Every structure is written in C-alpha cells, then in structure tokens.
C-alpha cells in the first residue's frame, strides 16, 4: 500500500475532510447567526427609527461580509471533495444525497447569493422595504441551507427510506423518510441553536470589550451587549434541553456512539454511573483515573436509578469508534455549554440588579467567552462525526470502503496545500475581522463602500430613487 509520510490514503483523506470541514463550519456558524441578527437590527431600525440600530447594522455587516465570503469559498471546496476523495461514496449515495444537496443549492445558496448584493450594497437603491426583504432573504437562506445539509448529515447517521440496487447504490424509496430521518429534527435544532448561541457570544464579547475600554458614551455598544445577553439567557438553557433530547435520540439509534461519549467500556447491569472525567485506553478496553458519580448517568439517559446499559465490551473491535476523541470532544462541548448557561444567568442577575453595563467582572467573563461557541461547535461536530466511525453511512457503508482510487501522495500533497493556504487566507480574514471588532461602532458609522459614496445609475441617482419610491431621506453624508 502506498503511503505519504507513512500515512495511508484513507487516513489522509479523513484528516483532509476533518480539517476542511472544521474550518468551513466556523463560518456558517457565524453567518447563520449574524444574518438573523442583521435582519433584526434592520427591522428594529425601520420600526423605531433609532439610529443606534442602523449604526450597529452597518458595523456588523462589514464583519458579516468577510465571514460570509470565507464561508462561501470554503464551502465550494466541500461540495467538490465528495468527488475527489470519496468517489465511491459519491457513486453509491448520489441517488439519495445528491438531490438533497441540489435542493440546498436551489433553495438556499442562490437565495443567499442573489440577495446578498442588494443587502450589502443596495440600501441606497431599492428603498427600505425591499432592502429589508433582501436582508431577511439572506437570513432565511442561511437557515434553509443548514436544514438541507443537516438532513444529509443526519441521513448518514440514521439512514432510512432506501433500498439497494444491483450495483450497490442507495436508491430512494421514500423521500419523506430520507429527509425526516430519525435524528434530523434533533440535529437541526441543536445546530441552529448552536449557531445563534455562537454568534450571541461573539457579539457579546465584542460589546464587552468596548465596555471594558470605557466606550460607554457610545449607545450602540450597550444595545449590542444587552441584545447579546438576552439571546444567551434564552438560548443557553434551551440548548442544554435540546442537546439532552439529541443525546437520547442518539442512544436509541447509535448506542455505540453514546458508549464512546460516556466512556463506557464495560456494560452496567445495575445503575449506570456518570463518568465526569477519565483517560480512555481503547487498547486495554478500560478507563484510567476515572472520576464518576454512581447511577447519575442512568438518570440522565432516562434509564432510571437501577438502569442497565451495554458497553463497548459488547461491540466488535472493528465497529468501535475512536473513543478518546469522542470522549474528550463531548466533554469540551458540554463543559462550554455549562459555562454558557452560567453567563446567561449572571447576565440576567446583573440586568435585574441594574448592573448590566457596570459589572466589569461580567464584561471580562463575556470577553473571555467570546469565541467559546466556535470551540463548542467544532467539538460537537467531532463528537458526532468521529462517533459515527467506522461507518460513513451508519451500519451500511464503511468509511474505508468509500474512498476514491487515489494515491496517498495526491491526498497528502493536497492536504498540505489546504493547511498552508487555509491558515494564510483565513488567518488574514480573522485578522481583518478582529481589527474591525477592535473599533467600536461610531456615530458616523458607514456600511460597505456603497454607503460611503453615491453611484450614478443610468441617469438616476440613488438619492432621487429613494425619494421617488417614498423611502426616508438619506442620512446626512452617509448615503
């Protein structure tokens, strides 16, 4: 078997997929949340005519534009990687998954892309109602996109509604069953909520940074912080409930994944402990340095005080996922979730005691937690994806059997290219985003370049057009 730096094509292709998807996933997680936030800000501005909302819209739209562009380009890579590295998977699952992805393109990508230009550059040209519709369409597009791609992913986790044809392709039998597969609603709710929570922490972190720097004279900052803390207070506990339900669903359909997440190498007959921490040793089939709470694991998993649960000792070795990664990734996700809940409660207390804008410790905590959602999202993604191994379509198609007829050198060389280029390009993007965030929203905040200066359009300039369509007068010097 040919290798690259001692690694086989299969390993390299998996690392490449994990790397590119983890990088990609950051950006939709931000743009799903920010698109909705921008729609809310735009709506609030139209409703209240309070300039603070417009200022925030213009502030965040610049950050959104960068995150969105990075999401688009890293997403195009994903859409072709199925074919380059996983061509057997593509051939066999194409009839089922291809249409779902085609629907994602037709209902979501075009919607986002078509209205993005109007949202970013069209405020001075289409009038407030159409501009609001464009902003809303972009937000709807991001959520619809998530819906389809999570249906695809969920089907790979809990496949149903298909038969096999003579060449081994999955052939759809019931589209309803394919799309609404058993884990889909849980995964969709969990991921969308994660995106909103992630964005709320980023917005809250940026606001906290400016509050800590004493930029309180700027009303936009307080509005930003208040909105973020409301969002966290609502979504953090909600996410814990959804995550719990998702876990129960996984226990029903992918029990082996739960065994790995919970670190249960052994079966439990009478009462299932909750493993708080430990060091999984998959070769020996046991946990080292375990700290556990008796019987609570069974309660959490709805198995009762005296419940029983099978462990990895009941699973054939070739069907076990890599326990260490799943175990730790799950703990990172849950740990961050608990901290998020803490911030949510703290924010509520500070609000009701009138200290929301004065509590420096709350602001420091919010700042530190700013990027935590991204870490949690990636950890969660690893939990669910690595936990599905060694299957790419759970129980049906092994990852090892899905690989392209590729040489290790080709996959290895392209992996290095991805790593180098992604760090360079997206590193620059993150730098530009952080630099934008480092400045507070200004009273004369300008949006993207269109709003800074007028553009003449076929003998009709934007000012006239807005006035003719009954829109508000342009604001001094900004349009």
Q: Which residue lies nearer to another protein by CB, 93 or 235?
A: 93
- Residue from 107, 226, 303, 396 that binds another protein (CB under 8 A)? 107
- Residue from 28, 33, 122, 297 that binds another protein (CB under 8 A)? 122
Q: What is the CA radius of gyration of the chain?
A: 24
In the range 164-203, which residues lie near another protein by CB under 8 A? Answer: 165, 167, 169, 171-173, 175
* Phi, psi dihedrals of residue 277, rounded to the nearest 5°: -150, 160
Q: Is 59 in the site for another protein (CB under 8 A)?
A: no
Please tell me whether residue 320 adopts helix, strand or coil conformation: coil
Q: Which residue lies nearer to another protein by CB, 74 or 249?
A: 74
| Greatest extent of the chain over all pairs of C-alpha atoms, in Å | 81
Going by C-alpha positions, the residue among 390, 398, 400 that lies closest to residue 317 is: 390
SS3 content of the chain, % helix, strand, coil (to 5): 70, 5, 25
Q: Minimum distance between the CB of residue 153 and another protein, rounded to whole angstroms?
A: 15
Q: Which residue lies nearer to another protein by CB, 113 or 315?
A: 113
Q: Applying CB under 8 A, which part among 44-52, 81-89, 196-204, 243-251 lies near another protein?
A: 81-89
- Residue from 5, 48, 114, 213 that binds another protein (CB under 8 A)? 114
Q: Are 224 and 238 in contact (CB under 8 A)?
A: no
- Residue from 5, 48, 106, 293 that binds another protein (CB under 8 A)? 106
Q: Minimum distance between the CB of residue 455 and another protein, rounded to whole angstroms?
A: 6
> What's the CA gap between 60 and 46, in Å, rounded?
17
> What's the CA gap between 423 and 91, in Å, rounded?
32
Q: Which residue lies nearer to another protein by CB, 97 or 229?
A: 97
Q: Applying CB under 8 A, which part among 255-263, 344-352, 389-397, 402-410 lies near another protein?
A: 402-410
Q: Is 429 in the site for another protein (CB under 8 A)?
A: yes
> What's the CA gap between 175 and 154, in Å, rounded?
14
Cα angle 408-411-414, degrees, rounded to a multiple of 5: 140
Going by C-alpha positions, the residue among 260, 291, 255, 259 that lies closest to residue 275 is: 291
Going residue by residue from 138 to 167, which x/- string records binding to another protein, judged by CB under 8 A? ---------------------------x-x
Residues 6+ apart with CB under 8 A from 3: 408
> What's the CA gap between 475 and 457, in Å, rounded?
19
Q: Minimum distance between the CB of residue 414 and another protein, rounded to whole angstroms?
A: 5
Going by C-alpha positions, the residue among 133, 227, 239, 233 that lies closest to residue 195 is: 239
Q: Is 404 in the site for another protein (CB under 8 A)?
A: yes
Q: Is 294 in the site for another protein (CB under 8 A)?
A: no
Q: Which residue lies nearer to another protein by CB, 12 or 260?
A: 12
Which tokens belong to 85?
């590295």
Q: Is 121 in the site for another protein (CB under 8 A)?
A: yes
Q: Which residue lies nearer to another protein by CB, 100 or 228?
A: 100
Q: Is 118 in the site for another protein (CB under 8 A)?
A: yes
Q: Are 417 and 442 in contact (CB under 8 A)?
A: no
Q: Minimum distance between the CB of residue 460 and another protein, rounded to whole angstroms?
A: 8
> What's the CA gap between 415 and 29, in Å, rounded?
23
Q: Is 385 in the site for another protein (CB under 8 A)?
A: no
In the range 439-478, which residues lie near another protein by CB under 8 A? Answer: 448-450, 452-460
Q: Minimum distance between the CB of residue 319 and another protein, rounded to whole angstroms?
A: 26
> What's the CA gap between 389 and 327, in Å, rounded?
13
């Amino acid at each position: 078997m040919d290798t690259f730096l001692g690694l086989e094509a299969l390993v390299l292709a998996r690392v490449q997929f994990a790397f590119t998807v983890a990088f990609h996933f950051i950006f939709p997680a931000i743009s799903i949340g920010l698109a909705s936030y921008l729609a809310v800000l735009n709506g609030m501005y139209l409703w209240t005519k309070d300039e603070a909302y417009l200022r925030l819209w213009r502030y965040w739209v610049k950050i959104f534009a960068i995150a969105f562009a990075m999401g688009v380009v890293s997403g195009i890579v994903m859409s072709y990687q199925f074919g380059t590295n996983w061509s057997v998977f593509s051939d066999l699952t194409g009839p089922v998954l291809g249409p779902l992805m085609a629907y994602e393109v037709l209902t979501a990508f075009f919607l986002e892309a078509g209205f993005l230009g109007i949202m970013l550059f069209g405020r001075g040209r289409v009038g407030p109602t159409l501009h609001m519709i464009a902003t809303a369409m972009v937000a709807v597009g991001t959520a619809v996109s998530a819906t389809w791609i999570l249906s695809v992913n969920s089907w790979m986790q809990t496949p149903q509604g298909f038969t096999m044809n003579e060449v081994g392709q999955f052939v759809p039998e019931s589209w309803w069953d394919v799309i609404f597969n058993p884990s889909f609603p849980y995964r969709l709710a969990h991921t969308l909520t994660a995106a909103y929570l992630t964005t709320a922490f980023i917005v809250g972190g940026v606001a906290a940074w400016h509050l800590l720097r004493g930029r309180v004279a700027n009303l936009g900052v307080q509005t930003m912080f208040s909105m973020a803390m409301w969002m966290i207070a609502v979504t953090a506990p909600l996410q814990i409930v959804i995550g719990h339900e998702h876990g129960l669903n996984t226990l029903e359909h992918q029990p082996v994944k739960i065994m790995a997440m919970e670190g249960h190498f052994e079966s439990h007959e009478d009462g299932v402990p909750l493993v708080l921490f430990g060091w999984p040793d998959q070769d020996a089939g046991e946990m080292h340095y375990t700290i556990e709470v008796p019987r609570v694991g069974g309660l959490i998993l709805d198995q009762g005080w005296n419940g029983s649960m099978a462990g990895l000792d009941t699973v054939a070795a070739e069907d076990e996922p890599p326990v260490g990664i799943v175990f730790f990734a799950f703990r990172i996700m849950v740990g961050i979730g608990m901290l998020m809940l803490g911030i949510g409660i703290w924010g509520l207390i500070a609000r009701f005691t009138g200290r929301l804008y004065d509590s420096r410790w709350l602001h420091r905590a919010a700042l530190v937690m700013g990027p935590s959602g991204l870490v949690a999202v990636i950890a969660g993604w690893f939990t669910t994806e690595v936990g599905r191994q060694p299957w790419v379509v759970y129980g049906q198609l092994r990852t090892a059997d899905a690989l392209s007829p590729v040489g290790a050198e080709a996959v290895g060389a392209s992996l290095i290219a991805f790593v180098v280029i992604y760090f360079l390009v997206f590193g620059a993007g993150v730098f530009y985003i952080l630099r934008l965030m480092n400045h507070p929203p200004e009273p004369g905040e300008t949006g993207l370049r269109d709003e800074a200066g007028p553009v003449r359009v076929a003998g009709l300039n934007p000012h006239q057009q807005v006035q003719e369509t009954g829109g508000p007068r342009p604001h001094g010097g900004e349009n």
